[in-house]
Structures are given as structure tokens and as C-alpha cells.
Amino acid sequence: MTKTTFSDACANLRPIDTAGAGTQATMLSDGLTKPRGSLGRLEALGAQLSAIARRCPPPVPEPVMVCVFAGDHGVVDEGVTPWPKEVTAQMVANFCAGGAAINVLARHAGADVVVVDVGVATPVPADAPNLLRRNVRPGTANLATGPAMSLEEAAAALDVGVEVAARCVADGAKLLVTGDMGIGNTTPSAALIAALTGHEAGSVTGRGTGIDETRLAIKTQAVARAVSRLHPGTPALEVLAEVGGLEIAALAGFIVSGAAAEVPVVVDGVIAAAAALMAAAFAPDVTGYLIAGHRSSEPGATVALEHLGLEPVVDLRLRLGEGTGAVLAVPTVQAAAKILREMATFDSAGVTDKDATSS
């Protein structure tokens, strides 16, 4: 199979079929044995799944694959987090061994986990099973003081994501879930969200896994310094290279690649939201394929999701990342398809429909 690049994926992307299969889903839903609209967000999700699959009712989106992209961040040197950088590699080993939260929650949802080293700084043990080794460089440079990576490295990381999504789709995935690991990665995420939405650093920078006021001030300052090097009209790839992260770039490629294959993508928290914004900057039609898994505690996540017009499925005050919030949304996403596929209609069940009998 020829290797697909990020540019190919962007070019292959077409808008979802809202007017056709999406509208059919709404009409179908209105005839099911329930008051119209009473299943709330489930009905909207069902219409979106139909529009993505271009048929109604949509197939149930399974099998599910969660792809966790890992990378390190030079900005950790500024003191934006109390966690040592080595934890990224330690957690990659934990993912590969099946002991992290994402492993537990993915198993519970019947999903497989794929772990990808896009840019971990500390060597990952050679015996880590099932790890895709695609290290573009061992962590980014410090984005507070200069470009996080080169344009070539950013492009290479985008291509890693494209390859991983294509591999999952070839393996049968019908629903993709974004995951991430990278000590310090809420900092580049905040910078990307500030750069791509025009918000101030202070309004999109949060406490990540739980930092104190001092570190928050350092972090906000690092984001502001990074973003100050950009201007409206800076090309998307340059924004990514200047203030992004390797795993965030890979996630953006993964998202566009999944969408180009017409597979819905459930995005996790603030890292994934930044990647989704980045993906939409390259290929605006990607947003139709995205389902916001959950509302992260991180303020930048809400800003990014609003900018993309996405509403989260789950709101459980999670702030872990890894894909945990997104994978918790999977049963609800699948339920939306089953509602359209399995519910009886007023006619078939012999139930009186008020809207057919009264005004």
C-alpha cells in the first residue's frame, strides 16, 4: 500500500452528508416510540453518525481503537509542571503493560489501545510490548524561548498520525479515539489554542494535572511568550512547529486521516482539542467527523470546543488525559446508533402518536 501523507489525507477529506443521511436520521428518529427530541444529545449523535456513514440508520461504530500518542516537551524546563519528564516514558511502559487508566477504561468499552512514541525524551524500555516506535525527535525544544520543532519535524509528526489512523482503519476500526501522554503537554496545547482562536494566554491556560498559583503564572507567561512570536496569517504548519508538540501534531494527522477514511473520531481533553483545532486549520471539513468526548477541567478545552462548534458528551470533571474522557463517551456514541437501528416506530408498535392525532 502506498504511504499516505498528511497532504493526501487533507485532499481526500469530504464533508459529511448532513443534508442527506443526516436529515434521514432526524426523520427516522421522529417516528420512533418516544416524544420527538426527548433523547436529547443521543438524537444529534445519531444524525451525525448517519451523516458520517452516509447512510441511515448508521452502523454501530465498532470495533473501537484508542491511539495514545506520547511525546515530551522542552518547555518543562521552565517549571510549568511538578512532574519529572521521565514520567512520560514510565507511563508509556505502563500503557504497554495495560495498567493505566486508559487501559482499564478501554477494556471496559471493548476498545483496543495502540501506543505510539512520537517524541518521548527518555528511552522507552526495549521490551515494551505493542509499542509503535515512531520517534521524530526526543522531545521538543523549549517553546517559551524558540520554535518547538522544525517544519520538517512537524510534518513528519503529522504523517505519523496519518499512518497510525490508516493502520487502525485497515485493521477494521470503525471508531477512533484520541489519547495522549506527555508531561507538560497542556502548555503547548494552550499555546495552540491561543494562537488559533485569538484568545489571550490567561484565558486558555489552566492547572493541567493540578499545579499551584506560582507554576500557573510561569505557565501562562510561557504560553504568552510563545504566542507572541506568531501573527494572524502565520501558516498552519508554522504555528504547529513554533508552539506545538510532537504528539499533538501526530494527533492532528490522526484526526484528519480518520476523517478522510470516514471514520468518526472521539476527541479527548485539551490536548486533543488543540490537535482538533490544528486539524481544522488545515482541513476545515474535519469537524463534521469529530465527537467531543468530554469536558475537560482545562479552560482551553472549552474555548477550543466552542470554536469548533462541538459539545462534549461526558462531563465528569476529569483532567487526566490519555483518552480517558473520550473512551468513557464511547458507549453513549454507540447507543445513539442502536437507537436508530433497534427502536420500534409508532406504527410498528401500535403506539398512538400525539403529533399524528392532535395539534
Pairing of strands 131-133, 175-181: unpaired
Shortest distance, CB of residue 201 to a copy of itself, whole angstroms?
A: 23
Q: Under the criterion CB under 8 A, does residue 141 sit at the interface with a copy of itself?
A: no
95: Cβ contacts below 8 Å, ≥ 6 apart: 68, 70, 102, 103, 113, 115, 181, 322
Strand order in the sheet with 265-267: 131-133, 111-119, 64-71, 175-181, 265-267, 290-292
Shortest distance, CB of residue 225 to a copy of itself, whole angstroms?
A: 25
Q: Under the criterion CB under 8 A, does residue 201 sit at the interface with a copy of itself?
A: no
Q: Which among 60, 61, 59, 86 has a CA at the least distance from the CA of 73? A: 86
Q: Which is nearer to a copy of itself, 4 or 103 (CB)?
A: 103
Binding positions for a copy of itself, 47-106, rule CB under 8 A: 82-84, 86-87, 90-91, 93-94, 97, 99-101, 103-105
Among 1, 127, 317, 356, binds a copy of itself (CB under 8 A): 317
Q: Under the criterion CB under 8 A, does residue 315 sit at the interface with a copy of itself?
A: yes
Q: Under the criterion CB under 8 A, does residue 186 sit at the interface with a copy of itself?
A: no
Q: Is the peptide bond before 63 cis (omega within 30 degrees of 0)?
A: yes
Cell, residue 178 = 484520541
Can you tell me the distance from the alpha carbon of 287 to that of 229, in angstroms, rounded to the nearest whole number?
27
Binding positions for a copy of itself, 221-240, rule CB under 8 A: none
Q: Under the criterion CB under 8 A, does residue 305 sit at the interface with a copy of itself?
A: no
Among 108, 217, 235, 306, binds a copy of itself (CB under 8 A): 108
Q: Which is nearer to a copy of itself, 134 or 295 (CB)?
A: 295
Q: Decide: 118 and 182 in contact? Cβ < 8 Å.
A: no
Q: Which is nearer to a copy of itself, 163 or 322 (CB)?
A: 322
Query: Catalytic residues, which ones?
Result: 322
User: What is the DSSP code (8-state) at residue 75?
Assistant: G
Shortest distance, CB of residue 306 to a copy of itself, whole angstroms?
A: 17
